[in-house]
Structure 1
Amino acid sequence: MNTHVASTGNPLLRVEGLAISHGAVPITTPLSIAVERGETIAIVGESGSGKSLTARAIAGILPPGINATGTVTLDGIPLMRLAETELRRIRGFRVSMLMQDPFTMLNPLMRGGDHIDEMLRGRPEFASRAPRAAEVKRRLAEVGIVEEDVARRMPFQLSGGMCQRVALAAALARDPELLIADEPSTALDVTTQAEIIRLLRRIQRERHMSLILITHNLRLAFSTCERIYVLYAGSLLEVGDAAAVERQPFHPYTLGLLLSEPPADIRVPRLVAIRGSVPQAADVVGRCGFADRCDWAKQICRAGKPPLVARDIGRLTACVRQDEIQGELDALRTAALCAAPATPRRDETEGALVRIDALVKTFDGPRGHPIRAVKHVSLRIMPGESVGLVGESGSGKTTLGRCLVGLETPTAGDIRIDGIAAADFGAMAKADRARVRRTIQMIFQDPYSTLNPRHSVGQALSEALRASAGAASAATPERIAALLADVGLSAAYATRRPASLSGGERQRVAIARALAVKPAILVCDEPVSALDVSVQAQVLNLFKRLQAEHGLSYLFITHDLAVVRQIAERIYVLYLGEIVEEGPTERVIGDPQHPYTRRLVESIPRSANQHAP
């Protein structure tokens, strides 16, 4: 099976029949990849697809107990036949890795510059300290760091973006021919993501270095890479030129990934979400791994493992029905990307459900210097309205949300929720406090940290129901089942514990718990940013449905303008604690007036085929 699309016959990296397993349990089926000199490819798929383990197998750093078979050849050298001592002379020097979380990639006990210094010591020209120090400075400048003191700072003293730049400089210090970047921007803010990806591409072109980008984000892959490998449940489902795959996906899974991504240029009535979740490779041996989630699956898809075969020049797909269903795939894409009707302007003379006036929140900073996280912010949320609060980390978004639900007390300013003064929960009358807590609930970014791991889902919902009704009789199995049904889960989930749930299932449980008190407004703090793109689409559709059915209001806190465009009618843009722009969503994103808003819009990944909204 030839998977070396558009190969010159002498690629820098050739992977053939690479299969990864845990003992006798398969994690990936045999797959083949080729990377030309100076080429950028992407390996794309959801969590659990095998992307990161494939990258680690190529670099020869699989975890203990995980085994790989097949061949990995770098410039003619069979890496999997080398002893560990020989691999160490390849790893870092010819092949290097950049991990997702820069804080775990850097040694917390070493200064930033020392990570680069350590990588330079094996080279004769940097045997003494002075040349190494000069080279560290040059390497930091290459990744956009010109501040003299960064080399002397510890990782905890650096931002996530700065840590990732230092980690990149260290990964490049030995001038590798191939860099494997495993989700290098996922843990970062949208503007920092864009900066890191632009930096990676610039350095890759200047050095004529090969790059493998591991990502779950198809749009990021399209904007960055020349070829795409789509991996699902350990098997390759589609391979091809990035522009061609973007123009017309051949596999239903590729199309599902693409349509799950919220479009930045339009608001759609509903995202096309892939139902279910990624299975284990061991559970779909001998059949199409995507069949259980595919609307076009037939018996032929389950009768055997579909081979990855050529369907066009430089295009491979593992869909046995591609010729039959391509017209339907194309029609679905056209229909899914039709803009939703314009949201009618609300009459803002009616009473606001939430009023925030001149809110200030100051924290004690180091050496007695106060930090003003929120600066004179005023905001309105009308009944049944969805409002977006947009900004990067450190802008004050979460602090504002926590002030609304009483987890922080503002330093100054006024908050009114359903007409009740709610700036200081501690000073409120007991009845008013109880009423406000029933009116407003908060959903957090990480649902696992908000659920007691020792309690079942049913126990968590029972507590919320009792808090709402004040009686144990309110928490009946029927009420719990109704709450679960409201968020798309079966009654059987009541007996399960958080550890047995996927990220999307945990977030649904967190939403059900918030709904138990029948709130009028939900404060949603980055509720989909930690989820896979297909699960993100499912949860965003759920938020839309719940708003329509229950008349809910939302304060939707996010850094992602593509997400907020799908959910919010109005947007407030927060920068360094201040509102710098506000207005209807379509106007703010379509015609941003403030330089910061423009920067957020420009940070949305786009391929050469796309234009800014």
Structure 2
Amino acid sequence: MKTGSIEASGGGPLLKVEGLAISFGRAAITTSVSIALERGESIAIVGESGSGKSVTARAIAGLLPPGLNATGAITFDGMSVMPLPERERRKLRGYRVSMLMQDPFTMLNPLMRCGDHIDEMLRDRPEFASRQARGGEVQRRLEEVGISDPDVARRLPFELSGGMCQRVAMAAALARDPDLLIADEATTALDVTSQADIMKLLGHIQRERHMGLILVTHNLRLAFATCQRVYVLYAGSVLEVGDAISVERRPFHPYTLGLLLSEPPVDIRVQNLVAMRGSVPRAADVIDRCGFADRCDWASEVCRASKPPLGALSALRSTACLRQDEIQSEIDARRATALSEEPKALSRGETTDCLVRVDSLSKTFSGARGRPVRAVREVSLHIRSGECVGLVGESGSGKTTIGRCLVGLENPTSGNIVIDGISAGDYRALTKGDLARIRRTIQMVFQDAYSTLNPRHSVGQALAEALGAAVGATDPVTPERIVSLLAEVGLSASYTSRRPRSLSGGERQRVAIARALAVEPAILVCDEPVSALDVSVQGQVLNLFRRLQVEHALSYLFITHDLAVLRQIAERIYVLYLGEIVEEGPTEKVIGDPQHPYTRRLVKSIPRGTIKLTR
């Protein structure tokens, strides 16, 4: 077996990972992960945050951070990679293995022009020795990823959208024509249309070059729509392997079932989203037993007695469930029930009372070189008491600007906003009494809960501060009230002493929702509140929003780019494109029978597998 050459051998699988174990000191992060990838094949590594997906991908690419140690075997094109000195691994990584990261803004040097990132990858190739030759190749590479504007090569990353930056990052990653591309959550930060465009481009390039692709993602719909085979990773171990169609149609492991049922369906509105309880444990804590046992409805003592091996059930399917034979019929039945769930009829009575009314709202910002940028154009919408209204559109469509105008974080350039009978187009012009009333009426839940919580304050301090604003400075904020507020969002009293850094993403979002509820508002503006969460946690938070709406007669303006999420929570939808409302109506009609070309594009962009939900 070769250990010193990076040249292609042309025989056998492109990549073979055997018994990969990664640790930090004595603490295990992954345990005995094995993966195989054929030339030109695409595989997905899926699982929740903390499952070990990204660290496995980094180990394959030779990019483990300092302090992490890997054992096992990684064979690339017949060459044993683990014994290679770093200099040789760097050559392999630079030429034959490439990696595309989640955040393009961290992949690209903010001080380098976009074209220079690609130019840098071409300089050591003799055919591109001259600057002129490299310049022509840079333009060709940009065109390959769908960028036809030659001016993009001269721009800095901050001058481009997230989707455009990801295309530039992809062009740089592919510039040396690698045999293997590892895409680690490469579309997570993008809206659904940009995501669809990027994956379509990537699939085309992969097929054209016969390139291997490893897609690391927590988005199962994306994995099934893109990849040929799927590896399900949990707590550092592979729990299921199979071809994408078979795994989606008939999962063998309870964890795979849980991931599938946590995905909000776009075809129907289900009565209750299935959400797995608990969270992913550390691999070191479950090294001698089934890591999923504590969250599994079918776990027994045998599951906790030893670590289940990954056993082959056929040439194409493997699972690490010891009880698969016994429980498969129940797994099938639960899957079938979820697929045939009838949409729940809305029980809210008709009312003409509007809690919020927006009329002809426009917002113009000052852009580069003083040029005006019209973010919102003549938008009108209304929200009734107890109603959830969805606002959907791509990044840059003006969704967040509208939400910020509603809560007074931005002032509209023109138009009017009426909240609970008070004209709120300009919060600065409100009387002290009206301002206090509006603050109690409307609150906002942001996408990144961590950035909205003071890292030095405990959860109890954050909620006490919010309750102080709600009940008035003269009324005491009791520990019982804080505990009651935590209970509203499904958290125990023990969370009062914890700080944001010790919470998971879902727990932080629950704390943020609890803080917003402290003033007992009538409406919440929810700006992408679940887009950064794992699919299982997303289901938990969506169920929480639905429960709070019923129990408190809350209204929502739910801002998102995900129509599947809106199908589960919104009664009506406004579709926003380039700052303008292009379609509106009941959720069922807008998603089921879209009329505007842009809405049809949004619906078409949703990644779908092979399963069709029945009604």
Q: After TM superposition, is the score higher than 0.5?
A: yes
Q: 1:376 to 1:488 in 2, by over 3 A?
A: same
What are the superposed Cα offsets for residues 330-366 of structure 1, whole Å, 9 maximum, x if unpaired? Answer: 1112222303233368534x21111111111122222
Does 2:271 match 1:280? no
Amino acid at match of 2:601: R
SS of 1:376's partner is strand
**Aligned with residue 205 of structure 1, among 207, 216, 220:** 207
What are the superposed Cα offsets for residues 73-127 of structure 1, whole Å, 9 maximum, x if unpaired? Answer: 1111101111111112211211111111111111112111111111111111112
How far off is 1:140 after superposition? Answer: 1.3
Please, what TM-score do these two structures have when normalized by structure 1?
Answer: 0.96
Contact 2:222 2:607 in 1 (8 A): yes
How many angstroms apart in 2 are the aligned matches of 1:261 and 1:165? 27
What are the superposed Cα offsets for residues 44-93 of structure 1, whole Å, 9 maximum, x if unpaired? Answer: 11111111111111111110011101111111110111111111221121
- After superposition, residues 410-425 of structure 1 pair within 5 angstroms as 410-425=412-427
Q: 1:517 to 1:611 in 2, by over 3 A?
A: closer
How many angstroms apart in 1 are the aligned matches of 2:312 and 2:11? 17
- After superposition, residues 3-152 of structure 1 pair within 5 angstroms as 10-152=12-154
Does 2:242 match 1:240? yes
- After superposition, residues 154-553 of structure 1 pair within 5 angstroms as 154-337=156-339, 338-343=341-346, 347-348=350-351, 350-471=352-473, 473-553=475-555
How far off is 1:609 after superposition? Answer: 4.5
SS of 2:313's partner is strand
SS of 1:27's partner is strand
How many angstroms apart in 2 are the aligned matches of 1:470 and 1:128? 71
Aligned twin of 1:577: 579
Contact 2:248 2:610 in 1 (8 A): no
What are the superposed Cα offsets for residues 258-282 of structure 1, whole Å, 9 maximum, x if unpaired? Answer: 1111111111111110111111100
How far off is 1:9 after superposition? Answer: 9.3
What are the superposed Cα offsets for residues 361-411 of structure 1, whole Å, 9 maximum, x if unpaired? Answer: 122222332222111111111110000011111111111111111111112
Contact 1:601 1:612 in 2 (8 A): no
How far off is 1:311 after superposition? Answer: 2.0
Contact 1:415 1:421 in 2 (8 A): yes
Contact 2:348 2:386 in 1 (8 A): no
Contact 2:47 2:232 in 1 (8 A): yes
SS of 2:550's partner is helix
Contact 2:394 2:561 in 1 (8 A): yes
How far off is 1:185 after superposition? Answer: 0.4
Q: 1:345 to 1:514 in 2, by over 3 A?
A: closer
How many angstroms apart in 2 are the aligned matches of 1:94 and 1:186? 25
What are the superposed Cα offsets for residues 122-154 of structure 1, whole Å, 9 maximum, x if unpaired? Answer: 111112222222211211111111111111111
Amino acid at match of 1:598: R
Runs (5+) with no aligned partner, structure 1:
1-7
How many angstroms apart in 1 are the aligned matches of 2:129 and 2:354? 68
How many angstroms apart in 1 are the aligned matches of 2:554 and 2:484? 18
SS of 1:97's partner is strand
How many correspondences in the alignment? Answer: 605
Contact 2:45 2:232 in 1 (8 A): yes
Identity level (%): 75
How many angstroms apart in 2 are the aligned matches of 1:609 and 1:499? 38
SS of 1:588's partner is helix
Q: 1:236 to 1:247 in 2, by over 3 A?
A: same
How many angstroms apart in 2 are the aligned matches of 1:109 and 1:373? 27
How far off is 1:595 after superposition? Answer: 0.8
Q: 1:610 to 1:119 in 2, by over 3 A?
A: farther
- Could you say what the CA RMSD is over the residues aligned between the two structures, in angstroms? 1.6
How many angstroms apart in 1 are the aligned matches of 2:53 and 2:185? 10
Contact 1:453 1:499 in 2 (8 A): yes
What are the superposed Cα offsets for residues 437-476 of structure 1, whole Å, 9 maximum, x if unpaired? Answer: 1111110001111111111111111111111111454411
What are the superposed Cα offsets for residues 231-274 of structure 1, whole Å, 9 maximum, x if unpaired? Answer: 00100000011100011000111111111111111111111101
Amino acid at match of 1:347: E
Please, what TM-score do these two structures have when normalized by structure 2?
Answer: 0.96
Contact 2:386 2:553 in 1 (8 A): yes
Contact 2:268 2:613 in 1 (8 A): no
Contact 1:271 1:336 in 2 (8 A): no
